[in-house]
Amino acid sequence: MSKRLVEKIKRKLYYAGYKNIVVKFENGAIVLNGELSSYEDIVKCGKLAVSKKSRGVVNRIRLIGYTPKPMRVPSFTDEKYEGKTPDVLIIGGGIIGCAIARELSKYKLDIILAEKESDIAMGQSSRNDGEIHPGIDLKLSSQKLKYNRLGNQMYDELSKELGFEFERRGQIVLYTSKKQSLVYPFIKLKAILGKIPLKNLSPEEVKEVSPNTGYQFGGFSCPSAGLICPYQTTIAFAESAAMNGVEIALNCAVTEIVNDGQSIKAVKTTRGAIMPKIVINAAGVFSDTVAEWAGDRFFTIHPRKGVELILDKKANQEYKLTDTVLGIIPKRGSNTKGGGILPTVSTNMILGPNAKEVIEKEDDKTTRADVEEIWQKQISVLPDLKRSDIITYFAGTRAPSYEEDFIVEHSKKIRNFIQAAAIQSPGLTAAPAIAKEIANLTIKAMYQNEKIKVLPNENFNPYRKPIPKISEMSSEERDKYIKQNPDYGEIVCRCEEISKGEIIDALRRPIVVPHIDAIKRRVRPGMGRCQGGFC
C-alpha cells in the first residue's frame, strides 16, 4: 500500500508542476525532499501530499537561498535541573501545557513543566482574541470538533474554580447576501450532527441584537460561544498547577532529546539534563521539532500568522457597537474562520485575525498591509467603527499541520512519549478537554511502562483566588480594601485604574515573574489608551 500511495503523491505533485520532489514513506508518513524557490510552493506541496492513508506529511523541502532562524532560547544557562528525574516532563508553557500540568496535579506525580521563555503564555496562547469557539466551522470527523465541544462545556466550571473571567456572549454569523441564507439548512444539519446549539436569525432579529451591522440579510447565532482573556486564563491554569505541586521551569529551553528508538532516556535543556519517566510534547509551533528529537515525527508545522487590532474601550462603551461576537462566513478553502469583531472580557474590542502562511515559527511582526486588510474587512461588518479608536495591534503564529487537525496520542513508536501537537485554533477552547485526555494517557503509560499505579492527590485544591480588581469594585468594597492596605488606593495606571496594591499582588503569586510585560499580562497596567505613556 505504501508504494501505491507514494506513486499517487508523486503523480499529484508532477501534474501540479513539481517534477523534482522526492517522495518517500517513512514511519507511516509521507516524506517530501527537494528544493523550491517559493515558500508558497513548498506549502502547496505539503497540502497536496495529505492522505488519509498516512499518519501525516513530513515536508523537508528546502527554500533555495534561505537559512532558517534558530529557535529563540534564554540568554543564560545553568544546571538547576541537571539530573532531575520527575515522573512527567511537559514541554511547553502555553495553555495546552499549563492545562495538562493542572490536570496531572490531581494525581500523586512529580511533574516539571519546561518553558523556554521567561514567562508562560508567551506564544500563541497570549496572541489570540480569546474566543471560546462553538465549533460550527469544524469538520464533523475531526479531533478539533471532538475536543472543542468537550472543552467549551468545561469553561463555566473552570472559571469558577480558577477565578478567571468567562462570559458566554454567543456569536452571530452574518449572511453577506440573500443567496447565502440558502445554506442555512446545511449548516443546521451540521450543527445537529455536531451537537452544536444553533439558531437561524431573520434580518429583523439581527437588527434587534446588533442594529449597526453593515449586512442586513439575517444570519445565525451560536449561543455556546464565549470570551476569556487567553493569557490570564493560561496563567490561572499554571498557578493552580504550581499550587498543587508542579514545578514550573521558566527560561528552560529543550535543546535535544536522547532516545534509543524505543524510549526517551534524557531531555537536554539550557538548565541541565532531565531524565523523566514520561515526556509530553506541548511545544506549539516547535512540536514537530520536539517530535523529531524524540524519534517519532510524522507531521510538519507550517506556521500561520494572524494579526489582530485592539480598539479603545470607549469604542463599545460609547457607541454600543456589539455585545456579541460578530463574523461572516469565511470563503471556501480559507485557512481562517473568517475573523470577526469581538468584545472582550476587558471591555476593549478586537478586530481580526487574518491568516498568512509564514516561514518563520516565531514571526510576530505586524505590517501596515495586515492592519489595512483587517480594517477594510471588518468595517463592512460594522460601518460605525472608527480608525482613531485603534490603540494597538499584535500578531500570533499558530501551529497547524498539513492535515489541519490536532494530534493527541500516545506515541506508536516511543513508549514514554505523549503528544499534544499541531494545536492551532480552536486550541484555546479545546485545551481543558485535551488536558483530560493527555492525563488519562499518562496514567496508562505510567502503568504500562513502569508498573506504577498512579493514585489521586488527596491534597489537590481546585480553587485559585484571583488578584482583586479594584476598578470593578463598589465604593464600599474599594474602601474596605484600602483600609486594609493603602497601596490599593494608589493608582499607577490611570487608563485601566490599576493600583500599586494589585501590582504588588502580582509579584506575590505562585509563579513570580518580575518584569513589566509579565505584570501587564496579570493585572493590565499599560494596556489602556495611552499604552503605558502615563503610568
Whether 133 is catalytic: yes
All 3 cell numbers of residue 232? 490570564
Statement to judge: residues 358 and 505 lie in one domain: no
pLDDT of residue 312: 94
Statement to judge: residues 112 and 8 lie in one domain: no
Given 416, 439, 464, the domain boundary residue is 464
Task: Report yes or no on 530 lying in a domain.
Answer: no
Question: What is the number of structural domains in the chain?
Answer: 4
Statement to judge: residues 355 and 406 lie in one domain: no
CATH of the domain at 202: 3.30.9.10
pLDDT of residue 315: 85
Statement to judge: residues 37 and 177 lie in one domain: no
Statement to judge: residues 220 and 357 lie in one domain: yes
Given 371, 397, 423, the domain boundary residue is 397
pLDDT for residue 398 is more than 80: yes
pLDDT of residue 321: 74
Note the pTM of the prediction, 2 decimals: 0.97
**Average pLDDT of the segment spanning 54-75:** 97
Statement to judge: residues 287 and 230 lie in one domain: yes
92 pLDDT band, cuts 50/70/90, is: very high
pLDDT for residue 96 is more than 90: yes
Statement to judge: residues 336 and 406 lie in one domain: no
The domain in which residue 35 lies consists of 2-63
pLDDT for residue 535 is more than 80: no
CA dihedral 77, 82, 84, 90 (to 10 degrees): 30
Cite the beta strand spans of 161-294 per DSSP E.
166-167, 171-174, 199-201, 219-222, 226-228, 247-249, 254-259, 264-269, 272-274, 278-281
Give 167-186 pLDDT, tens digit per residue.
Answer: 999 999 999 999 999 999 99
Statement to judge: residues 263 and 237 lie in one domain: yes
CATH of the domain at 139: 3.50.50.60
Sole residue written with cell 455536531: 194
β-sheet with 407-410: strand ranges across: 247-249, 111-114, 88-91, 278-281, 417-421, 407-410
Statement to judge: residues 81 and 126 lie in one domain: yes
Which of 133, 302, 410, 515 is the catalytic position?
A: 133
Weakest mean pLDDT among 253-262, 304-313, 325-334, 495-504: 325-334
451 pLDDT band, cuts 50/70/90, is: very high
Given 419, 436, 464, the domain boundary residue is 464
**Average pLDDT of the segment spanning 387-414:** 97
Task: Report yes or no on 528 lying in a domain.
Answer: no
Task: Report yes or no on 529 lying in a domain.
Answer: no
Task: Report yes or no on 531 lying in a domain.
Answer: no
pLDDT for residue 1 is more than 90: no
Task: Report yes or no on 346 lying in a domain.
Answer: yes
Statement to judge: residues 159 and 233 lie in one domain: yes
Average pLDDT, rounded, for the chain: 95
- Omega before 343 cis (within 30°)? no
Statement to judge: residues 375 and 391 lie in one domain: yes
Task: Report yes or no on 84 lying in a domain.
Answer: yes
Statement to judge: residues 375 and 335 lie in one domain: yes
Selection from 500, 522, 520, 501 nearest residue 511 by Cα: 522
Task: Report yes or no on 137 lying in a domain.
Answer: yes
CATH of the domain at 42: 3.30.1340.30
pLDDT of residue 266: 98
Task: Report yes or no on 229 lying in a domain.
Answer: yes
